[in-house]
Amino acid sequence: MPFRSSLLASSLALALLSLTACGHPPSNPAAAAPAVEQSSAAQAASAAYDFDMDVFHPVVAENGMVASEQELASRIGLEILKSGGNAVDAAVAMGFALAVALPNAGNIGGGGFMLLHDARSGKDVALDFREVAPSQASRGMYLDAQGKLIDGKSLYTHYAVGVPGTVAGMEHALRKWGSLPLSRVIAPAIALADKGYPVSETLAKTLQQEKQSMGRWPATQAIFWKNGEPLKRGDLLVQKDLAQSMRLISEQGAKAFYEGAIAQKIAAEMAPYKGAITLADLKSYKVIERQPVRGSYRGYEVATMPPPSSGGAHLIQILNMMERWPMNQWGVNSAQSVHYMAESMKLAYADRAEYLGDPDFVQVPLKGLVSKPYADQLAAGIDGNKARAAQSIKPGKPQAYESDQTTHYSVVDKAGNAVAVTYTLNTNFGTGIVAKGTGIVLNNEMDDFSAKPGVANAYGLVGGEANAVAAGKRPLSSMTPTLVLKDGKPVLVTGSPGGARIITTVLQTVSNVIDFGMNPAEAAATPRFHHQWTPDELRLEKGFSQDTINLLKARGHHVAVKPAMGRTQTIEIRDGKLYGASDPRNPDGQTLGY
């Protein structure tokens, strides 16, 4: 099996040729020449790397590596590793740093998931610090008296906020698997918030896009606006209140956020809105340690996020279907490969809408979904020559809208600990509401529930009963932090933002490495595709050849070329070395090693 072999040359060359043949350069010039920082040890390690064979090159290192969507956060993670911290120390430091440096998705006012491999015990853990619906939440809370969805209520109001889990999750991870005190790992984030940093082009664009939702709130404007306008590229973003909130967390731990001064301020922000988060809701927030959902693919083990994420279940479900097909003979992004994978994606996403929700509230048939016999059954129904109409698979319960403004980061240390974190505010800057006096941007994760099961929501889409709103329930997610292991040790650490497209992005990353022998930089640079059952659309990034598109159309696919999908942060561990890459789709991302 490839996982780096000469097969790569032909398959990747095909993908790249199709880019140039169409006259399209890679979506970001950084893809061709990623700016990386390497220590001399890392440069020595590069010498063993096959530069002649590979088209895109990962960062190479020996001792430790971090990959995130923001260089400032990656530098902080690297510094923690270099100064003797382990992967969990670095991951927690980066979690807080991204709340400062990537304020549209990094957060302490949101929630997420951490997949970690503890080298000492050999165990893998799935840490669930997803937001929770407040105690007064109810299934009709986003509907008017006529039972119609109230436009924007689940997105841009105080009722859209789920009880945040990030601070509890970070503290829990550090206490159980870290080696440094919270005050040490949070210090760089505090310093960054206090001192400020120049706004990047990417962040400036995001602020401009969110002008309307953020501009409604004076406390938000006070931080992110200058002279009546969102900050522009090069403006200094200083976050004094956030620094002070983090200082309280540094001194008092997560208690400051859930019971102390920060909790009081969040509760005061919510108080005028009856039914929104209360002090008691904050106090009762709990992190949950879950067993990762596990599968296997061509001799590798996959450990990934179980419900309340749908990501892990469907990643494994699709891999189980793919395992029977000679993907490496078919080639990366050939019409044949794309057809079979898209048909598998449709089947998995149809199941997602039907079965997935918070396992503490609904029975998710997880074992069945990830079983090989179930994949046999599903794959048997796939026609190699003809795309099945989405309607014929299972009509009536398409999945809910999901934003793609999440973020993922990966860390590996020299002891072999590996951490994959995907966390989020949901949409960019969540609700856009900053709890006054805290500097903390509040999530709108409640929108990940089906606001009205069985009926089209504000986006014209319909959600499943299993994901209906209920007090204390966690909304369904697609976040898929993932470890691929061989003989119990991680060989690949990956994940991505991308809403519903996270699952297929992670799927293609795993397949690109295992089936096509790509390194993480090549796996990220390869054009992606996505099918989520409904709408019945095979979504492609630019870069597929017209021949391929014609062949897919001839098989009945409804092809649409749309904006780029996913922004992976991937680290491969091979022969004692680390190979990492930040997705070229985000120019601010940075992988660093030493």
Catalytic residue annotation = 406
Q: How far is the CB of 312 from ligand GLY (least distance, A)?
A: 12
Of 439, 499, 517, 584, which lies in the binding site for ligand GLY, with binding defined by CB under 6 A? 499
Span 444-473, contacts to ligand GLY by CB under 6 A: 448
Cβ neighbours of 222 (radius 10 Å): 13
Number of residues that bind ligand GLY (CB under 6 A): 10
Nearest to ligand GLY of 70, 107 (CB atom): 107
Q: Which two tokens stand for residue 441?
A: 């941007």
The angle subtended at Cα 411 by Cα 352 and Cα 345, nearest 5°, is 20
Nearest to ligand GLY of 57, 539 (CB atom): 539
Please tell me the distance from the alpha carbon of residue 472 to that of residue 136, in angstroms, as a whole number: 9
Span 378-407, contacts to ligand GLY by CB under 6 A: 402-403, 406
How far apart, in Å, are the Cα atoms of 308 and each of 130, 370, 477?
8, 15, 6
Q: How far is the CB of 287 from ligand GLY (least distance, A)?
A: 16
Query: Using an 8 Å Cβ cutoff, are 569 and 53 in contact?
Result: no
Nearest to ligand GLY of 63, 213 (CB atom): 213
Q: How far is the CB of 426 from ligand GLY (least distance, A)?
A: 4
Q: Which two tokens stand for residue 453?
A: 């099961």
Nearest to ligand GLY of 431, 519 (CB atom): 431
Name the strand (E) or helix (H) holding 182: helix 182-195
Please tell me the distance from the alpha carbon of residue 408 to that of residue 450, in angstroms, as a whole number: 24
Q: How far is the CB of 443 from ligand GLY (least distance, A)?
A: 8
Burial 513-526 (b: 16+ CB within 10 A, else e): bbbbbbbbbbbbbb
Q: Does residue number 424 form part of the binding site for ligand GLY (CB under 6 A)?
A: yes
Stretch that binds ligand GLY, among 39-47, 297-305, 477-485, 582-590 (CB under 6 A): 477-485
Q: What DSSP character marks residue 585?
A: T
Nearest to ligand GLY of 34, 497 (CB atom): 497
Q: How far is the CB of 402 from ligand GLY (least distance, A)?
A: 5
Span 192-251, contacts to ligand GLY by CB under 6 A: none
Of 478, 519, 526, 570, which lies in the binding site for ligand GLY, with binding defined by CB under 6 A? 478
Nearest to ligand GLY of 142, 579 (CB atom): 142
Sign of CA dihedral 433, 436, 442, 444: negative
Please tell me the distance from the alpha carbon of residue 207 to that of residue 189, in angstroms, as a whole number: 21
Q: Does residue number 477 form part of the binding site for ligand GLY (CB under 6 A)?
A: yes
Q: How far is the CB of 230 from ligand GLY (least distance, A)?
A: 23
Query: Using an 8 Å Cβ cutoff, are 442 and 435 in contact?
Result: yes
Of 186, 187, 242, 479, which lies in the binding site for ligand GLY, with binding defined by CB under 6 A? 479
Query: Using CB atoms within 10 A of its CB, is residue 249 exposed (0-12), middle (13-18) or buried (19+)?
Result: buried
Q: How far is the CB of 386 from ligand GLY (least distance, A)?
A: 31
The contact mask relative to ligand GLY for 156-195 (x = CB under 6 A, - = no) is ----------------------------------------
Place of tokens 């991937």: 570
Nearest to ligand GLY of 118, 448 (CB atom): 448
Q: How far is the CB of 533 from ligand GLY (least distance, A)?
A: 16
Q: Does residue number 70 form part of the binding site for ligand GLY (CB under 6 A)?
A: no
Q: Which two tokens stand for residue 129?
A: 């610090």
Q: Which two tokens stand for residue 144?
A: 């008017």
Q: How far is the CB of 106 from ligand GLY (least distance, A)?
A: 14
Nearest to ligand GLY of 159, 579 (CB atom): 159
Stretch that binds ligand GLY, among 143-151, 460-468, 474-482, 566-574 (CB under 6 A): 474-482
Please tell me the distance from the alpha carbon of residue 161 to that of residue 155, in angstroms, as a whole number: 8
Residue whose C-alpha is closest to residue 342's, from 218, 503, 190: 503
Name the strand (E) or helix (H) holding 222: helix 218-224
SS3 of residue 229 by DSSP: strand
Please tell me the distance from the alpha carbon of residue 559 to that of residue 540, in angstroms, as a whole number: 7
Place of tokens 């001399």: 40
The β-bridge partners of 591 are: 67
Query: Using an 8 Å Cβ cutoff, are 449 and 469 in contact?
Result: yes
Where are the extended beta strands (E) located within 215-292? Answer: 225-226, 229-230, 236-237, 288-290
Please identify the residue of the shown chain whose CB is closest to the bound ligand GLY. 477
How far apart, in Å, are the Cα atoms of 130 and each of 194, 362, 486?
28, 16, 29
Of 336, 399, 426, 428, which lies in the binding site for ligand GLY, with binding defined by CB under 6 A? 426
Nearest to ligand GLY of 418, 425 (CB atom): 425
Which positions lie near ligand GLY, rule CB under 6 A? 402-403, 406, 424, 426, 448, 477-479, 499
